[in-house]
Structure 1
Amino acid sequence: MDQPLLVFNEKGIYCQQADVYIDAWKPVDKCIITHGHADHSRWGHKKYITHKNNVPIIKHRLGEIVVSGKEWNESFTINGVKFSLHPAGHIVASSQVRVEYKGEVWVFTGDFKTENDGIAEPFELVKCNTFITECTFGIPAFKWTPQEEVFSDINNWWAANRAERKTSVLFGYSLGKAQRLLKHLDPNIGKIYTHGAIENMTQVLRENYEFHQTTRVTRDTKKDELLGNIVLAPPSAHGGTWIRKMVPFVTASASGWMTFRGARRRRAIDRGFVLSDHADWDGLLTTVKETGAEKVIATHGYTEIFSRYLREEMGLDARTEKTQYEEEGSETSNKEENDISPGLSDPQQTKINEDEK
């Protein structure tokens, strides 16, 4: 094939044969969306294609859009190119995109993780010739502890704070991380409260997923009601006026970046729990190997380090490509903290900002 099946241009990842983009970062006519995070599902496309469970998510965030929902492994053909969506395990309804044409198969992971978190559809390995992979945590320093141990630590932290009559404030992005935390919090310890942005998104997701009961924090919520209980909030709520009604409170953040002590210190967080919705170093390497891909393209993350390792240590044809996806929770990114997608019209921008209040 003279022309690569997928190319990177100024608008996104493009399949010329089908005239379709994947997770385009500028408005296009037709775009396949891997998941609902703002850097992958932008406003302004004429037509969206995504997994059916992601339809209510992106409609909630982007407003009235033209969108079609697909089942897992459902093939759909556009101008001779066969596409299908496969679970990425990153967050609920997150997909990998398989693209096949004339016997050649490419896979774009979007964001993914290999650990089954008990809520997102578990990651599915997809064999391919060329593998386009994220590498947000693509250095050996990142190796995740099994989530059962992490959630045991989180629930023990909450119980200890409850014994001291303090409110536990746990930060996590309003789509994905917050619901994962909610799924594994122990409601026998106390009551689970939510920031408005998290409550709004969780209500959207309850259509297809089950969660513990939650109570929205409002202007009428009294400080005494919160004592000993836990509040789930987006990172953007930290340091604002909203959190003052929690006093006395203890804060914690759940993120892969909590691997580094400096990240917790810079964010002025009392406690850090290492919990990521991305693959760690071992997960990335194992996945690359098991796809059987001869060519690998590394995007968003530690791309240079990761691709060099694939070339020098694994003998693969690996290179990097620049994208406009952001590393979740990085020190230079506020990716999902405000849930704002570049290019939103004023009414939509206002709607999303309202969710964060």
Structure 2
Amino acid sequence: MKIPLLAFNDNGIYCQQADVYLDPWRPVKNAIITHGHSDHARWGHQNYITHHTNIPIIRHRLGEINVTGKNWNETFVINNVKFSFHPAGHIIGSAQIRVEHKGEVWVFTGDYKVEDDGISVPYEVVKCHTFITECTFGLPAFNWTPQAEVITEINNWWAENKAEGKTSVLFGYSLGKAQRLLKYLDTDIGTIYTHGAIENMTNVVRPLVDLPPTTLVTYETKKEDLLGNIVLAPPSAHGSVWIRKMTPFVTGSASGWMAFRGARRRRAIDKGFVLSDHCDWFSLLDSIKASGAERVICTHGYTDIFSKYLRELGYDARTEKTQYEGETAEMEKEMEKEVETEKEIRE
């Protein structure tokens, strides 16, 4: 029986011929890493290989690791297996991994999106025979509004809050989403303040992308300083003691999950902005078609629904379990409840 070029085991996605793993979730000897989010870049591997722009990000999160950087489309060979990184468009430094051996080509997308966000290198179509894709938002209900429209909505919201004498607190993940928001916030409206987690990560990526100035919220910051301005914070800050000094404030959250009616209510968010660093349903389908792949392996997200639809389209599609979490495992569980509730209502 032929051994597949890439196989899923208890440690991660394994290439036996090269004895390397792609985004392994348990400590291994050799790991090739797509990007810096903690569910894909984990501590404990002996050797890391990643795109060079991802190195400062994972070192910030993991410490002094043994890591080698590669350029886009640079082929590196391990035991006759060819590997290369190609832009994934997910966040700064995010990559797809192309794997080739004896004429057979696989692509592991990691997390990806096709819309150019202006801060990460745009997604590149890579032709292959087998396509390993995330499907975090693999439901037809997910159909993203263009980024420019969402950013305009966010800036208008901030301006309205300022007119009412309130602080705008906008939640987004500290790596990726926060910098994407920061890039387009209108500084003519006011000052951009940041939570420490976002400030620290933003300082890491500033050499890689042009971003406006920010002011860190500290113990010395007075609520009068914040009134009318905007504060970028990670979702974990919501409901914390830290946020109390923002009073009076209005909260907003930028996430693909805001497409669900109940997401904002469950998280006690005043305003939801549908802005995701992942593909929507239609982008997933377009990306798979563009790859030319005949075989598709679906990981993390709505894998069962999405793979079933792919099989109906004629693809050889299946699912594999991983320990990747998409945007967050907790939010995903909440949204699954929402889907079931809406399904019951329709039936």
Q: Deviations over 1:309-355 (max 9, x none)?
A: 0001x101000000000131354469xxxxxxxxxxxxxxxxxxxxx
| Uncovered stretches (5+) of structure 1, i.e. residues with no partner | 335-357
Partner of 1:321: 320
Residue 109 of structure 2: aligned partner: 109
Aligned residue in 2 for 1:223: 223
Offset of residue 19 of structure 1: 0.3
* CA positional deviation for 1:208: 1.4
Q: Which residue of 1 aligns with 2:18?
A: 18
Count of aligned pairs between the two proteins: 333
Partner of 2:166: 166
Q: Give me the TM-score of the superposition, normalised by structure 1.
A: 0.92
Higher relative contact order (CA 8 A, sep 6+): 1
Structure 1: how far apart are the matches of 2:201 and 2:7?
Answer: 33
C-alpha contact (below 8 Å) 2:13/2:22 kept by paired residues: yes
CA distance in 2, matches of 1:333, 1:293: 28
Q: How is 1:200-211 mapped onto 2 (pairs within 5 angstroms)?
A: 200-211=200-211
Distance in 1 of aligned mates of 2:332 and 2:91: 19
1:207 is paired with a residue whose SS is: helix
Helix, strand or coil: the match of 1:31?
strand
8 Å contact 1:257–1:329 — kept in the other structure? Answer: no
Q: 1:74 — aligned with what?
A: 74
Post-superposition offset of 1:230:
0.2
Q: Go from structure 1 to structure 2 and tell me whether the alpha carbon gap of 1:260 and 1:333 turns closer, same or farther (over 3 Å shift).
A: closer
Q: CA deviation at 1:2?
A: 1.1
What amino acid is the match of 1:151?
Answer: I
Match of 2:233 in 1: 233
1: distance between equivalents of 2:142 and 2:28?
35
Distance 1:286 1:51 in 2: 25
The percent identity for this pair of structures is 72
Name the SS for the 2:57 alignment partner: helix
- For 1:94, the aligned partner's letter is S
Distance 2:330 2:166 in 1: 28
Paired amino acid for 1:273: F
Q: TM-score, normalised by structure 2?
A: 0.95
Match in the other structure for 1:298: 298
Cα distance in 2 for residues equivalent to 1:329 and 1:163: 34
Q: Secondary structure at the match of 1:158?
A: helix
- Per the alignment, residue 59 of structure 2 pairs with 59
Q: How does 1:1-357 map to 2 (within 5 A)?
A: 2-312=2-312, 314-332=313-331
The ranges of structure 1 where at least 4 consecutive aligned residues each deviate by more than 4 angstroms after the TM superposition are none
- Whether the 8 Å CA contact 2:136–2:278 is kept in 1: the answer is yes
The answer to whether the Cα contact below 8 Å between 1:263 and 1:331 also exists between their aligned partners in 2 is no
TM-align CA RMSD: 1.0
Q: Can you list the C-alpha shifts for 1:202-249, whole angstroms capped at 9, x where unaligned?
A: 000012111010000000001100000000000000000000000000
Q: 1:162 aligns to what SS in structure 2?
A: helix
